[in-house]
Structure 1
Amino acid sequence: MMGQDDAAPEGNTSADDAGPLSAGLNSLAAGAYLADEHGVITAVNAPAERLLGRPAVELVGRDSHDLLHRNALGQQVPRTECPIRKAALANRTAQGEDLWFKRDDSSLVPVAWLVTACDEAGGQGVLVLFHQLDDDRPSSVQETFSELERLALLAELTNQLTSTMDIEEALNRLVRLVVPRLADWAVIDLITESAQVWRSAVVHFEDGALTYKEDLVGPMPAVPQESQLPLSRALRGAASALAGPDTYRGDPDSGIAVEQRRLFAATGIQSAVIGPIRGLREVLGALTLGRSTCSNPFTSADLPLLEEITRRAGVALDNARLYERQRKVSETMQRHLLPQLPEVPELAMTVRYESAPDASQVGGDWYDAFVLPDGATALVIGDVVGHDLDAAADMAQLRNMLRAYAYSQQEPPSKIVEWLDQAAMDLAGADMATLVLARLTDLGDVGWELAWTNAGHPPPLLIAQNGMTQYLTDGHGILLGTGTAPSRPNGTMRLPPGATLLLYTDGLIEEPGTSLDDGLDRLSRHAAALVHRPLDAFTDQLLERTRPPANDDDVAILALRLTTRTRAWPARPPGPAQERP
């Protein structure tokens, strides 16, 4: 019985048209089939056809183990553990009551079986006799799972749930691990941060796939303190319990009981176990596992395994919730550290900030824009090394010092950044950082003039109205925090009417496995294609198209657009700045 799917000989479709032993099968009252040395069925009798709900033509020529042999949960028994297969390979007679045969409609038939070796048509084979059991025996998961299988399930559950900090993903993994392995249905009710009960998932295994019943999810009534029904007790942290449609057929004692009656009616669940999902400090929700009419009912022996599952789920969800809280606090802190944009006549500005998807959600990327005493507008984009609270704290100090120097000293950007670099070296635990500081001046009919210095940061991108793009590579120096205190250069140019200037951090262009030039080319191409759109739409779509999906860095963008009033084109050529069509 080695699992080959050999085709049956032509005409050998029943016990009536085969060899002598095959022909004698129909004299038996019990179901019977013959199989060759590979386990391929060669003949069946009429009682077997009736019991299995399959005609002989659908049985003969099929691998008997793959087609029929299941455990109580409908899962295929591993070949190395199948008692019929092991007896056939050992050429011995054996019997038992520990198998279920799969019918044509996918339902399970508990069987008592006997297997013995035989010679048929000159070859070695096996004869399997079986009849249906009146299965009133307990069929708990605890009994049908070996201890090794139970431990393997719990280990896999722990590994899968603790390897994600996303609550929705953790719930999806939980469902995939218990359905259909333990049940036909899984229902998850969660208690939200505001103490509201929310039915988060109702999932059914059908036609070989998980189906999410969206019409059954949503808000639930409040948890009644006096109710003794299973779900209400579980949501208060009480022990796991069995349940079924009869549990909720009486007069409902709460709104939750009404919803449970609706759930059982809509799903056809006939047997369920309901257990609390407990965190370290509070009850987080409840897990319900349900079986339909074609499955064996749950018993009290299943409750310890459910408790183990919900305990591990509770730890994982508790950690995910703590992470989510920290993420929200960190993101709020980050956004409060970032400034509001000033209103400058005839100049449109917008910003975007997106935190790293897999980091601590707070880091050193920042932008700034403010009006100087002489009416010029200061523009800043920067990035402190790191993705943690230290980087955010260093960023806040650098930003504040830069604002103070730029506002109080009427000096070129290069001089301001030189002073900032020297002062930053005295900060406790200061990290290295990159930035661009620009000074944008409205010269009236002459046009807008931009002066900037770049401390190791990706170059600003200028996009003309006609789609021509140009990286501003003048004024480039080394990053801050090296301790060398170099003299820094300036770049200057006049900007064309209607031009868009883009300042950004490296999370927009860096992608693992590709060069920085690839990222710059991608950014310039998309910027040129989108420049005709309004500034907010331009920025949103540029971020969506350009940010590498595999990049786990923060992204900050400061985009501005000049008015289209008549202006003079630059008084001097762009110089060595890089031009890109």
Structure 2
Amino acid sequence: MPSVIPTAALIIPLLIGGLLLRFRPLVALTVITLLTGSYVVSDWNTERPATGFVVALGAAAWIVLAGAKVRSSLGVQGTRGETMLIELRTTLTAQGELPRLPSGWRAEMAIRPAGGASFSGDFVVSTTRGDEVLEVALVDVSGKGIDAGTRALLLSGAFGGLLGVVPIEEFLPAANHYLRRQDWDDDFATVVHVAVNLTTGDFEVRTAGHPPAILFDSWSGRWQTRDADGPLLGLMEAPEFEVNRGLLKQGDALFLYSDGMVETPRRDIGLGTDRLAGHAERLVAQGFKGAADELVEEIGGPGDDSAIVLIHRQMHPSELVVPSCQAQPTHRRLRSALMRSLGTAGHAH
């Protein structure tokens, strides 16, 4: 009934079958559809483009079968494969959420995949040991996009299971041992691992082929890199990882970041680190609120995955909000206020 049902309607069963049927029934449906289409066009007169319709129908059938073949190899059908990827991405994101910290501490993180992809080779795992120690590991898996994202998903579950379970100094050796067991050819991972005592402010930084952490000293206004040499994960059997210890005083902040934040083909990593610290300097006056998202958007390289974690030990709540009209840097105003208060106390005694 060409006057009621257009011949192009034969494509609709193919599309529906591609969503609902498994591969073999879909092949049978495709053959039936092509035979039906050939029978229909055989009655057309010479003025109608029969060959073009058959070619278009065959192309649609090939596209549907190719997509179904991929889903069949995964053991899923229809849109379940896409749903599974969304769930995996949600899981990866949830594992990177930072724990709630006690009063006086704040932590932020932000990750931006390269090229606007849904999966990133950078991920964060974190935990707290009781209410005293915060552990955070920022991991950068080799590669980009989906390839790196699948490995990141595997490692995030493993590293998240190790963090907070093994002793702090054994986390990187245990992570390296797990990566070696995967027997990946040339793939590796870099990690920066930090443990912060939320009572005293003491911290330990260990890195495995990763850019060093950056410490902002609020009392001197200086930015310091915290180097801790260590080899890439997955390349050596029994590597050794150095430790860099320090103290987070009130107002200080510690930045962990991936190489996508500081390194580009045209920019050395040292210059990138200076650029990152210079941009973060502008955020001191606002107490680094929203700093992670802003730094990723402004500093992160578009061609590489970018990630950053900020751990900030806040000042006294009465000193957190400072009028923007004052010209002096925040850390200098706070230091001056403290010195005046100490001087007043001394005269009183």
TM-score bracket relative to the smaller structure: 0.5 to 0.7
- Matched with 1:228 is 4
SS of equivalent residue, structure 2 residue 163: helix
1:512 is the counterpart of 2:265: yes
Contact 1:369 1:378 (8 Å CA) reproduced: yes
Which consecutive unaligned segments of at least 5 residues does structure 1 have? 1-226, 240-275, 284-298, 570-581
1:563 is the counterpart of 2:318: no
Per the alignment, do residues 317 and 396 of structure 1 end up closer, same or farther by CA in structure 2, a change over 3 Å counting?
same
CA apart distance, 1:335: 3.6
CA apart distance, 1:528: 2.1
CA distance in 1, matches of 2:275, 2:80: 35
SS of equivalent residue, structure 1 residue 487: coil
CA distance in 1, matches of 2:265, 2:60: 34
Per the alignment, do residues 464 and 473 of structure 1 end up closer, same or farther by CA in structure 2, a change over 3 Å counting?
closer
Contact 1:463 1:531 (8 Å CA) reproduced: no
The residue type equivalent to 1:375 in the other structure is E
CA distance in 2, matches of 1:307, 1:476: 64
1:384 is the counterpart of 2:131: no
CA distance in 2, matches of 1:327, 1:469: 48
- Matched with 2:196 is 440
- Matched with 1:554 is 305
Contact 1:530 1:542 (8 Å CA) reproduced: no
CA distance in 2, matches of 1:332, 1:435: 25
Output one character per residue of 1:359-380: Cα deviation in whole Å (capped at 9) or x when no partner: 7x54543212211147111121
1:344 is the counterpart of 2:131: no
Per the alignment, do residues 313 and 557 of structure 1 end up closer, same or farther by CA in structure 2, a change over 3 Å counting?
farther
CA distance in 1, matches of 2:124, 2:172: 15
Contact 1:365 1:554 (8 Å CA) reproduced: yes
CA distance in 1, matches of 2:234, 2:101: 32
Contact 1:352 1:558 (8 Å CA) reproduced: yes
1:333 is the counterpart of 2:88: yes
CA apart distance, 1:347: 1.2
The residue type equivalent to 1:333 in the other structure is L
Find the partner of 1:428 among 182, 202, 205.
182
CA apart distance, 1:545: 1.1
Output one character per residue of 1:421-466: Cα deviation in whole Å (capped at 9) or x when no partner: 3x3366232653221121111345xxx2222111111122234569
CA apart distance, 1:342: 1.5
Which consecutive unaligned segments of at least 5 residues does structure 2 have? 20-45, 72-78, 320-330, 332-349
1:490 is the counterpart of 2:248: no
Per the alignment, do residues 428 and 282 of structure 1 end up closer, same or farther by CA in structure 2, a change over 3 Å counting?
closer
Contact 2:125 2:156 (8 Å CA) reproduced: no
SS of equivalent residue, structure 2 residue 311: strand
Find the partner of 1:476 among 198, 215, 229.
229
CA apart distance, 1:564: 0.9
1:393 is the counterpart of 2:154: yes
SS of equivalent residue, structure 2 residue 115: coil
CA apart distance, 1:493: 1.6
CA distance in 2, matches of 1:394, 1:372: 21
CA distance in 2, matches of 1:555, 1:326: 27
Q: Equivalent residues in 2 for 1:103-114 (5 A)? A: none
Q: Equivalent residues in 2 for 1:136-285 (5 A)? A: 228=4, 234=8, 237-238=9-10, 279=15, 281-282=17-18
Q: Equivalent residues in 2 for 1:309-328 (5 A)? A: 312=59
Output one character per residue of 1:51-81: Cα deviation in whole Å (capped at 9) or x when no partner: xxxxxxxxxxxxxxxxxxxxxxxxxxxxxxx
- Rg: which structure is higher? 1
- Matched with 2:341 is none
SS of equivalent residue, structure 1 residue 349: strand
Find the partner of 2:206 among 450, 453, 476.
453
The residue type equivalent to 1:380 in the other structure is A
CA distance in 1, matches of 2:61, 2:256: 44
CA apart distance, 1:356: 3.8
Find the partner of 2:163 among 402, 405, 421.
402
The residue type equivalent to 1:424 in the other structure is Y
- By relative contact order (CA 8 Å, sep 6+), the higher-ranking structure is 2
The residue type equivalent to 1:556 in the other structure is A
Q: What is the TM-score of this pair, normalised by structure 2?
A: 0.62
Find the partner of 1:366 among 119, 123, 132.
123
Contact 2:254 2:310 (8 Å CA) reproduced: yes
Contact 1:425 1:483 (8 Å CA) reproduced: no
Q: What is the TM-score of this pair, normalised by structure 1?
A: 0.40
CA distance in 1, matches of 2:64, 2:309: 37
Q: Give the structure with the larger strand fraction.
A: 1
Q: Give the structure with the larger helix fraction.
A: 2
